[in-house]
Amino acid sequence: MIDPKLLRDNIDYIKELLQKRNMAGAIDLDALKRIDDERRAAIAKTGELRETRNRVSKEIGGRKSKGEDAAALMKEMEGVNAGIKDLDALQESLNTQFNDILLSLPNVLDSSVPEGKDENDNKVVRYWGEKPKFDFEPKPHFDIGAELNILDFERGVKLAGARFYVYRGLAARLERAIINFMLDLHTTEHGYTEIFAPFIVNDDSMIGTGQYPKFKDEYYRIERDGLSLIPTAEVPLTNLYRDEILEKEQLPLYVTMQSSCFRREAGSAGKDTRGLVRVHQFQKVELVKFVEPETSFDELEKLVANAEEVLRRLNIHYRVVLLCSGDVSASSAKTYDIEVWMPGLDRYVEISSCSNFLDYQARRARIRYRRAKGEKPALVHTLNGSGLAAGRTLAAVMENYQTADGAITIPDVLRPYMK
């Protein structure tokens, strides 16, 4: 969440922000301000009453221990206690309202984010490599996979339904190789520590990274246990340090983890219905950073470079896109997408999304660090990015490395992993 003080000091800034994010009118800021004012008034008033209660109760204790009469004082406390009770109830109701709205407010935007309505206004910041030339008509990965009998969508449907798939033989092995290659690259060359954590998390975790409460429809939740299947390893990784105070020396802290990711893909009916591009379960290697605030934008550039390096070593053409204000996710202040070239689909496909969340997630999840001994803890900045989505990487390898006879050449960097 954003700093509540911003609401008091500069409400126009937030109004403008919502405008840029195409969210104007979605949130009643004036009502929120009113609730906050009432809320703080109630806090101040109960504070006074409690102070009275503490003082008088001590007085009562003192008199009783001396055997003196305290009946008058006890009588006096009845009114005070009734007042506290009423104000507590009011405060609780106001706090709930306030937090609900606050949690659904999006993050601030960095000034470098271009203004725009939707993905058409995103800015391409660079291209790497070139589109490969084929002396035949390149096929989409799902056709290649069907012909080689390594991607089985029919049986995926039989087992779990639409948008599920089965890998057989080479595809299963190739994806495993891709994941291992990516993890090794990030841990041995980019300084990330490999983590393995649960794929199922509690609501506090989902709130911490911003999935809940606003976007509940997009995830699988096991109601009976109050747990959710993670849509990305960002959730367990970022929440590793929820409710903790880190030492300055621990920063910057880089972690990576491979996981399956589960998404309902609500609202994307009819989109990317074939193949591996949009499915309910896919594997991904995620990169997460905890850093000092001053460094977070530099760290974002390095994070994108770490993700790009995967495609460079695979020698696959891609471009990097800076998302515009209307397309950046609610939690993020600035996001770069890496889009890989898919010759069979004849378009670029998002394969990584790298974001700087500033203190938005850290405030929700209470992830702090000690700037200097004796000082109050400060919020860290968190970042994350895919490094990369494994299923889409598999599809990209299949399409870019396909041969005229319908086979796939294994990229050099993956060969050690295919022995």
Partner RNA sequence: GGAGAGAUGCCAGAGCGGUUGAAUGGGGCGGUCUCGAAAACCGUUGAGGGGUUUCCCCUCCGAGGGUUCGAAUCCCUCUCUCUCCGCCA
**For RNA, what does the binding mask look like between residues 314 and 353, x meaning CB under 7 A?**
----------------------------------------
| Rounded Cα–Cα distance for residues 255 and 263 (Å) | 22
Tokens of 314: 């695979």
CB of 73: closest distance to RNA in angstroms?
A: 7
Classify 194 as helix, strand or coil.
Answer: strand
Q: Looking at beta carbons only, is 4 or 129 nearer to RNA?
A: 4
| Contact in structure between 142 and 151 (CB atoms under 8 Å) | yes
CA atoms within 13 A on the CB side of 290: 31
Nearest-approach distance from CB 258 to RNA, in angstroms: 19
Q: Which helix (H) or strand (E) holds 382?
A: strand 381-389
Any contact of residue 44 with RNA (CB under 7 A)? yes
53 belongs to the binding site for RNA (CB under 7 A): yes
Choose between 40 and 313: whose C-beta lies nearer to RNA: 40
Give me the residues paired with residue 288 across strands. 255, 384
Please select the residue that binds RNA; options are 48, 154, 301, 346, rule is CB under 7 A.
Answer: 48
Instruction: Give the integer Cα–Cα distance in Å for 341 and 343.
Output: 6
Among 11, 18, 77, 251, binds RNA (CB under 7 A): 77
* Peptide linkage before 388 cis (omega within 30 of 0): yes
Nearer to RNA, 68 or 137 (CB): 68
The type of residue at 1 is M
Note if 353 is an active site residue. yes
Q: Which of 12, 30, 78, 405 binds RNA (CB under 7 A)?
A: 78
List strand residue ranges (DSSP E) for 233-380, in order: 244-247, 253-262, 281-291, 318-322, 334-342, 347-356, 367-370, 377-379
Active site residue 392: yes
Among 15, 24, 28, 54, indicate the residue that binds RNA (CB under 7 A). Answer: 54
278 in catalytic set: yes
Binding mask 240-269 for RNA (x = CB under 7 A): -----x------------------------
Catalytic residue (one of 50, 221, 264, 278):
278
Residue 82 makes contact with RNA by CB under 7 A: no
Minimum distance of RNA from residue 60's CB (angstroms): 4
Rounded to the nearest 5°, which phi and psi values hold at 217?
Answer: -65, -20
Is 93 a binder of RNA (CB under 7 A)?
Answer: no
- Please select the residue that binds RNA; options are 62, 169, 198, 416, rule is CB under 7 A: 62
Q: How far apart are CA 176 and CA 411, in angstroms?
A: 14
Residue 368 annotated among the catalytic residues of the structure: no
- Can the peptide bond before residue 252 be classed as cis, meaning omega within 30 degrees of 0? yes
Helix (H, G, I), strand (E, B) or coil at 140: coil
Span from 53-61, 119-127, 150-158, 267-275 in contact with RNA (CB under 7 A): 53-61
81 binds RNA (CB under 7 A): yes
**At 96, is the secondary structure helix, strand, or coil?**
helix
Give the residue among 323, 355, 389, 102 at the shortest CA–CA distance from 238: 355
Express the helix, strand and coil content of the chain in percent, nearest 5 each. 45, 20, 35
Dihedral sign, Cα of residue 200, residue 201, residue 206, residue 212? positive
Active-site annotation holder among 205, 259, 332, 353: 353
6 or 146: CB nearest RNA:
6
**Is 34 an interacting residue with respect to RNA (CB under 7 A)?**
no
For residue 106, give both structure tokens.
């999006």
Q: Which of residues 362-391 bind RNA (CB under 7 A)?
A: 368, 373, 376-377
- Point out the catalytic residue in the list 263, 363, 364, 368: 263
Residue of 1, 20, 46, 397 interacting with RNA (CB under 7 A): 46
Distance CA 146, CA 263 (A): 24
Annotated active-site positions, please? 263, 278, 350, 353, 392
- Note the residues at the interface with RNA (CB under 7 A): 4, 40, 43-44, 46-48, 50-51, 53-58, 60-62, 64-65, 74, 77-78, 81, 92, 245, 368, 373, 376-377
